């Protein structure tokens, strides 16, 4: 709420300044309250990634671009992000006639002409964007890349143009170089794909799909399957590869063709969108992502990033719509979408709907691999279906060895589930087994040690373990609290107070942490302060009834 308030105030100030600096000729037309309201609403909705509503408000301000170029850019974002490509193109042409064209308007015109197989005009507009965008590193990369792909001539000249891209985009140059060789069907293509997918310094896992797709397009289905299976051993959760593995069993249904400039430019735009998303610049990320989708609308993988962008902005309504559509495009997409939809249901406090959805989706899987089973087990455990999760963890552990990546996570998960249903001997065995394979799991150490402390056993050993966990994860509130609580149980109250006070600072709204701090204050003679913290716990929303009864007793009789 605090951040939202300041964000809104900032936007209001921006609008006030925006209109107060209008030229004299435009003031009469645009300083009326309804115009200001429309602009403010449009920008606010755009920043909140509600593009269709933003478009409706900004559309009412036709003519404002003559005095405020920033308006035309925002309007173009709202058009593209709400799916109005033709209208965005028409508006871009209008800006050109008014000699108000911008980097964005020229990119849109170029993409539109490219989609409609008019490479000469696409090249013209990408060149114009290149001239405008040279002041920005990102814009320069985009416009140069798009211009290069729309003006292909021969392999040598095109490689020369590629080499001139900013050296800070070295990895992106490598990707484009592979595509360039693929486009010209160069003999080096296979080797270049191998080099980029085997690169251990950078995650090029996505490009195993393009490599497999390339092999399949040449009739080498067996090689394509080997590439996918080999890559999935390293990247078992890669959605694109998991879906392509299923698709290859039926036929080669790749939706990417390296001999189509449209598809390659779409991938360039996707890479840009992905980079912007990682920096939380969602509106601009969606702008480039929607242009990518326009150029290759069969590439459903693009929708995963689009949905995630909306999810991160808490726009669950649109995210759900995209996930529901995405779930229709294959079993891997369906399972992924179901998990994401279940996550949204949990956020909306609809746990029963989430459980029902994922249960149905898991049972409908034709091939229940161990990673799907693990995800389902984790979902059950994390939503307090502890007993139900145990058979699925056991199923995984029966299929894998101790050196498998899922071994420690599965023993830990099952151990937690056993502990929560009261079967401590089994829980302890699993947690110890997990730590035997990987002794540096701070949170597993914390869970086991805290459980021992609560049972009043192995407290000195627990303290030693928690000191190690604290070094592994310094200032983690849960570990800090456990460490303080171990010291409390050993009656080292002054030392305990230091850690428990820090835990309260790190996690001020946690009932157990505040209760522990109240206890240590009491033991250190600060009884009035202790009662203050206990009373505070009673008013916290997350405080369980059993803890409330304990605190009510302490408020009367103390410790």
- Return phi, psi of residue 193, to 5°: -60, -45
Q: Which residue has the tokens 């693990």?
A: 374
3-state helix/strand/coil string of 289-300? HHHHHHHCCCCC
pLDDT score for 21:
44
d(CA 444, CA 410): 12
pLDDT score for 258:
94
- Return phi, psi of residue 552, to 5°: -60, -40
User: What global pTM score does this model have?
Assistant: 0.86
d(CA 298, CA 319): 19
Alpha-carbon distance values, 320 to 15, 65, 200, 364 (Å): 32, 35, 35, 20
Distance of CA 23 to the CA centre of its chain: 42
- Asked whether the beta carbons of 505 and 486 are under 8 A apart, the reply is no
d(CA 326, CA 320): 10
Under-70 pLDDT residues of the chain: 1-34, 133-135, 252
pLDDT score for 550:
94
543: left (phi over 0), alpha (psi -120 to 50) or beta: beta
Cβ atoms within 10 A of the Cβ of 195, count? 13
pLDDT score for 133:
63
CA dihedral 425, 431, 433, 439 (to 10 degrees): -150
Which residues, in sequence order, are CB contacts of 247 under 8 Å at separation 6+? 253, 254, 330
d(CA 242, CA 528): 60
pLDDT score for 407:
98
- Asked whether the beta carbons of 238 and 229 are under 8 A apart, the reply is no
Average pLDDT of the chain to the nearest whole number: 90
d(CA 288, CA 272): 7
d(CA 501, CA 311): 35
Read off the DSSP letter of residue 166.
Answer: -
pLDDT score for 345:
96
d(CA 198, CA 204): 8
In 116-228, DSSP assigns E strands to none
Q: Which residue has the tokens 């709204």?
A: 509
Nearest to 504 by CA among 495, 517, 490: 517
pLDDT score for 28:
47
> Counting Cβ atoms within 10 Å, is residue 177 exposed (0-12), middle (13-18) or buried (19+)?
middle
**Helix (H/G/I), strand (E/B), else coil: 200:** coil
d(CA 159, CA 174): 11
Which residues, in sequence order, are CB contacts of 99 under 8 Å at separation 6+? none
Nearest to 76 by CA among 284, 282, 263: 284
Burial call 14-39: b when 16+ CB within 10 Å, e when fewer: ebeebbeebeeeeeeebeeeeebebb
- Asked whether the beta carbons of 258 and 182 are under 8 A apart, the reply is yes
Domain boundaries, the chain: 1-101
Which residues, in sequence order, are CB contacts of 328 under 8 Å at separation 6+? 334
- Return phi, psi of residue 221, to 5°: -65, -40
């Amino acid at each position: 709420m605090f951040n939202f308030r300041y964000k809104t105030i900032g936007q209001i100030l921006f609008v006030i300044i925006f209109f107060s600096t209008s030229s004299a000729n435009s003031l009469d037309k645009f300083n009326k309250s309804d115009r200001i309201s429309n602009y403010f609403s449009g920008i606010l909705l755009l920043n909140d990634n509600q593009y269709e509503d933003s478009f409706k408000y900004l559309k009412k301000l036709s003519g404002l671009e003559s005095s405020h170029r920033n308006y035309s850019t925002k309007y173009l974002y709202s058009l593209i992000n709400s799916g109005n490509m033709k209208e965005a193109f028409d508006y871009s042409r209008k800006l050109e006639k008014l000699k108000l064209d911008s980097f964005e308007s020229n990119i849109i015109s170029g993409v539109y002409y490219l989609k409609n197989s008019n490479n000469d005009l696409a090249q013209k507009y990408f060149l114009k964007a290149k001239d405008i965008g040279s002041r920005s590193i990102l814009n320069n990369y985009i416009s140069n890349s798009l211009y290069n792909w729309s003006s292909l001539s021969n392999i040598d000249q095109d490689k020369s143009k590629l080499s001139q891209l900013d050296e800070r985009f070295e990895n992106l140059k490598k990707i484009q170089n592979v595509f360039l060789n693929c486009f010209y069907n160069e003999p080096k293509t296979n080797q270049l794909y191998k080099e980029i997918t085997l690169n251990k310094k950078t995650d090029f896992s996505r490009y195993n799909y393009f490599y497999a797709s390339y092999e399949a397009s040449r009739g080498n289905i067996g090689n394509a399957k080997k590439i996918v299976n080999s890559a999935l051993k390293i990247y078992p959760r890669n959605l694109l590869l998991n879906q392509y593995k299923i698709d290859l069993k039926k036929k080669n249904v790749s939706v990417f063709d390296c001999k189509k400039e449209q598809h390659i430019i779409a991938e360039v735009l996707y890479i840009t969108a992905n980079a912007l998303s990682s920096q939380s610049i969602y509106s601009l990320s969606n702008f480039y992502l929607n242009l990518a989708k326009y150029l290759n609308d069969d590439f459903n993988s693009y929708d995963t990033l689009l949905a995630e962008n909306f999810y991160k902005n808490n726009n669950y309504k649109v995210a759900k719509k995209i996930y529901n559509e995405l779930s229709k495009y294959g079993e891997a997409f369906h399972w992924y979408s179901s998990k994401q939809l279940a996550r949204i249901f949990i956020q909306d406090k609809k746990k029963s709907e989430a459980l029902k959805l994922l249960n149905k989706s898991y049972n409908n899987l034709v091939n229940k691999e161990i990673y799907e089973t693990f995800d389902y087990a984790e979902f059950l455990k994390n939503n307090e279906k502890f007993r139900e999760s145990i058979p699925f963890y056991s199923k995984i552990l029966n299929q894998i060895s101790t050196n498998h990546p899922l071994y420690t996570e599965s023993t830990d998960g099952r151990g937690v589930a056993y502990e929560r249903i009261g079967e401590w001997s089994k829980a302890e065995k699993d947690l110890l087994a997990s730590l035997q394979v990987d002794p540096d799991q701070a949170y597993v150490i914390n869970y086991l040690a805290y459980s021992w402390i609560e049972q009043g056993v192995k407290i000195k050993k627990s303290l030693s373990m928690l000191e190690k966990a604290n070094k592994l994860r310094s200032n983690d509130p849960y570990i800090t609290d456990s460490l303080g609580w171990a010291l409390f149980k050993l009656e080292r109250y002054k030392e305990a107070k230091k850690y428990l006070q820090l835990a309260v600072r790190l996690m001020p709204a946690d009932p157990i942490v505040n209760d522990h701090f109240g206890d240590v204050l009491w033991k250190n003679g600060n009884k009035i302060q202790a009662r203050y913290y206990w009373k505070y716990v009673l008013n916290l929303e997350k405080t369980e009834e059993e803890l409330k009864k304990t605190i009510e007793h302490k408020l009367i009789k103390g410790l």
